[in-house]
Amino acid sequence: MRLHLRTKRPIPWSETRNKIPRGWTTPFWAVEWLSEWVAYFLSNWNLLQVLDYARGFGVIIAIIFYFSESGDRIKQKHYQAWQVINTAQGKGGNGGRIEALQELNADRVPLVGVDVSGAFLQGLHLDQGHMARANLEAADVRNAVLVSADFSNADLRSANFRECSCARVSFRGATLDDADFWGADLRGADFTGTSLTNTDLGNADLRGMDWKHIESVRKANIRGIRNAPEGFVAWALKNGAVQAPSISP
């Protein structure tokens, strides 16, 4: 909002004309003199000041309405994201689901039970995502960043997690049969109660992995695993794991 200052009354034209140093500049001085009078009248016109106050007040009202409706805008944004996910359910490809999932997760919206089976989600970023009981069967999530996400009791059968960042992920009670974790970062991951039947862990980093309560490792491939916790390899081989070449990435 501008500060209104009342200008001084201009001097008469006769006095201004006497100050003109050169006659040929008279038109320019006349324009300047007229401008001074216009500015003088406008500076004393209270209506302009009222209009300026009204404009500033309108901005304040607009700001108030903007913030008061922010909750509705967020709800609308979440509704549209869920609509994208649900519309593409059961279909292959991306279908905008990567952006929708990331947007919801960024707003800390739980993704519990979400169904993205068969979806192409390569490169998905879902740090600390709440994906309990989600269905990612046969989904392609290669190179995804899923650090500290919760996939407890999720259906992850035949999912492709190659070279994913899965550090500190909870897979408690999840079904990971036929899943592919080749080269994945599984440091500190929790596999309590998890089924890893025929799962490929080749070249994965298992440092600090919670493995002592894994439900099944029958035919799981552990060839080339890195930083395996003490006792894991012997236990896995004893319970049906194998050391076979992984399929090339």
The answer to whether the predicted template modeling score (pTM) of the entire model surpasses 0.85 is no
Interior/surface letters 107-132, b for 16+ CB within 10 angstroms, e for the rest: eebebeebbbbbbbbbebebeebbbb
In angstroms, what CA-CA distances link 3 with 48, 50, 62, 145?
12, 12, 22, 54
Q: What percent helix, strand, coil does the chain show, rounded to 5? A: 35, 10, 55
* pLDDT tops 80 at residue 141: yes
| Tens of pLDDT, residues 75-126 | 888 989 999 998 888 777 788 999 999 999 999 999 999 999 999 999 999 9
Cα–Cα distance, 116 to 120 (Å, whole number): 9
> What gap in Å lies between CA 3 and CA 179, rounded to an integer?
69
Find, among 243, 197, 236, the residue nearest to 221 by Cα: 243
pLDDT tens string 36-77? 766 666 666 555 565 566 666 666 666 665 555 566 678 888
For residues 235-248, average pLDDT: 87
Query: Can you give the pLDDT at residue 198?
Result: 97
Higher pLDDT: 212 or 246? It is 212
Q: At what angle do helices 70-87 and 46-68 cross, to 10 degrees?
A: 40
Evaluate whether 203 touches 183 at the Cβ level (below 8 Å).
yes
Task: Find tokens 């309560």 and name the residue.
Answer: 213
Residues 183-238 have pLDDT tens digits of 999 999 999 999 999 999 999 999 999 999 999 999 999 999 999 999 999 999 99
Contact (Cβ atoms closer than 8 angstroms) between residue 84 and residue 100: yes
The answer to whether residues 217 and 239 touch, using CB atoms and an 8 Å cutoff, is: yes
pLDDT in tens, 2-36: 545 556 676 676 666 667 666 676 776 676 767 77
